[in-house]
Amino acid sequence: MGRLSLQSSIDAIEEEPEDCEATSSNKAALGCMINSEIGAVLAVMRRNVRWGGRYVSGEDQLEHSLIQSLKILRRQVFSWQHDWQTVNPSLYLQPFLDVIRSDETGAPITGVALSSVYKILTLDMLDVNTVSVDDAMHLVVDAVTSCRFEVTDPPSEEVVLMKILQVLSACMKSKASIMLSNQHVCTIVNTCFRIVHQAGNKGELLQRIARHTMHELVRCIFSHLPDVDNTERSLVKGGSSIKNESAGLDTDYSFSNKTENGIATSAYDGQPSGNFSSAASGLIGSGMDEGGVRTDNGKDVVPYDLHLMTEPYGVPCMVEIFHFLCSLLNVVEHTGMGLRANSMTFDEDVPLFALGLINSAIELGGPAIRHHPRLLSLIQDELFRNLMQFGLSVSPLILSMVCSIVLNLYQHLRTELKLQLEAFFSCVILRLAQSRYGASYQQQEVAMEALVDFCRQKGFMVEMYANLDCDITCGNVFEDLANLLSKSAFPVNCPLSGMHILALDGLIAVIQGMAERIGNGSVGYEANPVNLEEYTPFWMVKCEDYGDPDHWVPFVRRRKYIKRRLMIGADHFNRDPKKGLEFLQGTHLLPEKLDPQSVACFFRYTAGLDKNLVGDFLGNHDEFCVQVLHEFAGTFDFQDMNLDTALRLFLETFRLPGESQKIQRVLEAFSGRYYEQSPQILANKDAALLLSYSLIMLNTDQHNVQVKKKMTEEDFIRNNRHINGGNDLPRDFLTELYYSICKNEIRTTPEQAAGFAEMTPSRWIDLMHKSKKSSPYIIADSRTYLDHDMFAIMSGPTIAAISVVFDHAEYEDVYQTCIDGFLAVAKISACHHLEDVLDDLVVSLCKFTTLLNPSSVEEPVLAFGDDAKARMATVTVFTIANRYGDFIRTGWRNILDCILRLHKLGLLPARVASDAADDSEMSSDPGHGKPLTNSLSSAHMQTIGTPRRSSGLMGRFSQLLSLDTEEPRSQPTEQQLAAHQRTLQTIQKCHIDSIFTESKFLQADSLLQLARALIWAAGRPSKGNTSPEDEDTAVFCLELLIAITLNNRDRIGLLWPGVYEHIAGIVQSTVVACALVEKAVFGLLRICQRLLPYKENLADELLRSLQLVLKLDARVADQYCEQITQEVSRLVKANATHIRSPMGWRTIASLLSITARHPDASESGFEALSFIMADGAHLAPANFVLCVDAARQFAESRVGQTDRSVHAVDLMAGSVSCLVRWAHDAQEAMAEAEAAKLCQDIGEMWLRLVQGLRKVCLDQREEVRNHALLSLQTCLTGVDDICLPISFWPQCFEMVIFTMLDDLAEIAQGNPQTQKEFRNIEGTLVLALKLLTKVFLHLLNDLSQLSSFCKLWRNVIGRMEKYMKLKLKRGEKLQELVPELLKNTLLVMKTKGVLVPTSTLGGDNVWEQTWLHVNKIFPSLQSQVFPNQDSEPLHSNQTEETASAQNA
């Protein structure tokens, strides 16, 4: 007859292959096809004796009507030449349907007829345009669902049942299926389910096909839901039962149960062996015959009217089918499955089948369900209630299916299922995923898999946090789930298992979801901390627009803040109720003056309160407490709720006090509220009160083990007579209450924080009430609005969990998962500026690099190369440092520890400590074997990755692998070479050098912490002997510190204090030359060289730091003096124009001065000084005196050639030109007062210059001192343009000229040794006297105006007299010179009118004083100078007036 295929394509079932070629466009072919089907049915009928005998019995006997109708159709089928769509399908379907309906036909005949109908349906002969197609489809459904046949053998019966399923499926998949009515669709599903039920004791193939067909039907029907008009009027009607919708269906069983003709017995007559017996009896029996669906609350739903059920199918049939599927779950409940069933006490087959169908319906109905209130209501209440129950099933299959359904519901309908989802996670997932609640490993695993699936939904955790954790009336589901995942990932005293990895996957999915949201904007929300300025009722906080993030984000953050504060308040309350309330008043969560409503809402909506304390407070007789009690009762919604349910909910929120008066007050408040909302059959609130008391007493009686004699139902009814306003309450009502209390205890002492509660019926009813008033569900988009707050909650446990798994893991795929998690954590921490979290992560990761472990292995490099975990951790640490260094703080210390370890192993790239300008600024070797400006010692200047202290890879191995130095060294194995290569590749991937070369991009705080970490890692410098390893570390850290200092010249002000302090500590604590102090000194010089051009505001500070060089221990300074001088010289040459302050120049001059007496360094020092002073190129008022002083020291220094001293004197003398230039510029450009001030300063500088030259005039070397004398003379006589104040000159004569003459005279009169050292001192004395007279005469006009001129003149004569009397070996020349010089001086004085006779007496009389002293030495001079004394004019009056004016 054909073959059966379970493919979705109906065309897979073929009877005669050639018939498949027929199409609706070929009229003759369709006629032939129908004709062949008629022939096939007739042929099978003829094989039966009943039909065949009647066919040949004689012409007088009529043929059977079934055969006759087929023959009539055969005659007609070729006469229909017009389009088949105009032919009423009933004409060619009816004969086949008659055969199917007939109870006289056997299974083979019925099977062929069904095949014929199936073929007609699958050849698309019927579509919506076919005439009377609706009637035809209805005929087919009615006939097939009423199919009757004789059963001759079980296999043939199964074939017919399969073909019935095929035809029903083809009906629903046909193009004309949309013409079917709601009633017919329900009939099809009902028939299919009956076959599923009957197949329980048939063959396996039939069972599977029946179930598959049921799935196909449900999928086909619900796939049309999205296309249904949302405003369809059927949405507001009631429902009826599937049972009563199939009008033509025999209520016992639609397949005949007659036995007299050999027809099979109905499957319902005996107890079938299948799994659907209880389901079928529950569905077909009691509950479904009443014409309405009974709900849990005792209300009957209004049925659909007949007219609506006969319209083309839509929502009404879907509601009925969906309700029917939910009812299959209810059936199991009635068979005794308990919430805490710990064994397989029920068969999992029925619920699995029902749940699978429900899942299919939800998958295809999808979001469209929300537009149809009847369907949505079924899902919200009945379905979810059953899912909560089956979620605790011990069957992993059922639990898995339940979780799949909830995931689908979350995807499509989460906005309508806020509290249901909370309940599912709290009461199912969180209970099952933890072993302490008694769940099996399989249950834990399925629950954890489901949770991980949810976590992979990008917005899931955000929505849980926004909708539940930030709602004061809901639990902290996000927090609980995150804690569950992190705890479940921890392997405690056990090896790593699949469960740990699963939990880790979920945790990382959440973290990566947050990381992916970064970059989508809105990272700044966390910047605004929530603060409550004034009291507002916290339970009434509303959001203006739940769809606009600008509104809902601040709203949920505010709610979360309130929730946290309430939790803190609850903690305070539990310790001291009074202080707890005061705390909440202080945080503006309760008003300054407490009111009953606010306290009642605090008790009602705050989790974690001690229920004993709440009960005591509510039961208190104080008037305020009574008011709070009534307000508290007013927060409950008891609408349409049974009294025992309401009482359970009420007493769950606190512990009922033990005193009878308190109990009465509490129950009075409860009764008043209950009667106000659900009077139902109660006459007044007193009736409610009495009945509540009675229930409490019954509860105690039934569930207190000390009560031996239990109250019976009759006792309970008798106790409650006449309490309803003098009348009795209905017996049924009391009976229901009695058994409810007996079966389920009212807990008057609720468990304190007993983990995750069970979902009891009363709690479910309360949940449904709350869901109607719950705030709208917030849909989170892909931006990071709340990620900061969420991540702050879960970051610590997450890092710990990933770290523990990483520690215990043994496979690289697990390593990689952990690494992905670490990188995601780092990205989020950086994005949300959670520096502490990033530091914790770095600390954790650094432990896994193994670099910080004490090296116990013989060859750490090879061990590192063989340890994939350590290598991955190392790359990750440095990846984080490079990517997110801006947000690392204390973590830099750990990173540096790793770098130092790699440095000690010789694994760092050669130029880790290089800086941006090194390539262009490599200085030459200063002569002590180590390049100064190169960042690393020569040992590191090898190719990247080559270890130090080795001559290549083989050399390294031969060093490390040799067991005995005397034995020949072994060659490394291939494995060792590979391990070493892996190590080098890992280090290259780390890009460690980038941390320092790119430090200029680090944020200020991070940069400062990096610098401090380097200083910390270098250790405190000590004067004692340090190990070479410690010194190497300190040098390396200093190199890195200098590198980042140079790389951050724009932020040198930030780094400089710490860097300077560190270098100062090294310099001041070092007493022997070593690499560290060398690096410190030259690093300091290098910093100044590089930064002076860019940081003029810091120039003084940088240059002041060079004073550290002056504080070096003498032995250290002596060893490095030449190199230091070369560096200072470079610094001066490069930056002379940038050094402007006297302080800076003082430091430079001090450094240069020191070199004057150093044999190696003086050359470079003098070169630098010459650069500054030559032609006054870089002389300035700020450095004039300092440079002159330095030049004097070079002039006086006997290190080097005499020529250099002479050159130094020339530099000093040449500097006068600068003074002249400055004075000229001042007079031209400045105001008079400023010019006068500058001239005064210039005078001071000039005075210092000539004083310096005076000192050089006493040099032992004749050439130097004579040259100095001549230079001094030049300086004294060449300053006419400077306009020195006249008052300078007496000071100058006294401090410079006279002092010099006296000093020279003293040297000349000295002991023989001194005279021996100062050779040819006589010549110097001659030059000195000439200088005296020349300067005196040059300045005579000005000097003569001074009041002290007479005293000055006496000193001049006195020095001449002194020199005249000197006793020298070769003093002839001097003896001759003095009278001549004196005579010339007197003549000039005479000529200029300074020396003239006067009548004035006293010490100021020049004439008198002159001759008084001159005549003592040379009595004849007066007559030579004034041969005619009387003829000389007298100018004494004028001279005196001038002197008086000068003194004034």
**Element containing residue 1024 per DSSP (H, E):** none
One-letter amino acid identity for 19?
D
CB 1414 within 8 A of CB 1357: yes
CB 929 within 8 A of CB 880: no
**Element containing residue 771 per DSSP (H, E):** helix 761-773
- Residue 163 corresponds to which tokens in the numbers above? 């073909």
Which has the closest alpha carbon to 673: 632, 647, 634, 639?
634
d(CA 1369, CA 1039): 65
Which has the closest alpha carbon to 973: 960, 986, 984, 985?
960
d(CA 576, CA 897): 49
Which has the closest alpha carbon to 499: 454, 449, 450?
449
d(CA 782, CA 514): 9
One-letter amino acid identity for 400?
S
Exposed e or buried b per residue across 845-864, where buried means at least 16 C-beta atoms within 10 angstroms of its C-beta: bbebbbbeeeeeeebbbbbb
DSSP letter at 1259 equals -
d(CA 633, CA 651): 11
CB 47 within 8 A of CB 1: no
- Half-sphere exposure of residue 126: CA atoms within 13 angstroms, side-chain side: 31
d(CA 1018, CA 312): 86
Q: Please identify which residue in the block is written with the tokens 């030109």.
A: 1217
- Residue 503 corresponds to which tokens in the numbers above? 């939990």
CB 1172 within 8 A of CB 1214: no
Name the phi and psi angles at 724, rounded to 5: -95, 70
Question: From the centroid of its chain, how far is CA 15?
Answer: 66
d(CA 172, CA 144): 13
What 970-977 contacts at long range (C-beta under 8 Å, 24+ apart), as own/partner pairs, is: 976/862, 977/953
H helix and E strand count, the chain: 67, 0
Please say whether the dihedral angle defined by the alpha carbons of residues 482, 483, 486 and 491, taken in this order, is positive or negative: negative
Rounded (10°) angle between helices 1216-1229 and 1202-1214: 10
d(CA 94, CA 69): 9
- Residue 1215 corresponds to which tokens in the numbers above? 């500097």
- Residue 874 corresponds to which tokens in the numbers above? 């190392």
Please say whether the dihedral angle defined by the alpha carbons of residues 563, 567, 573 and 578, taken in this order, is positive or negative: negative
d(CA 1396, CA 1431): 11
d(CA 237, CA 1399): 147
d(CA 968, CA 740): 92
Name the phi and psi angles at 618, rounded to 5: -70, -30
DSSP string covering 1041-1068: HHHHHHHTGGGHHHHHHHHHHHHHHHHH
Residues assigned a catalytic role: 659
CB 1408 within 8 A of CB 1373: no
CB 1416 within 8 A of CB 1354: no
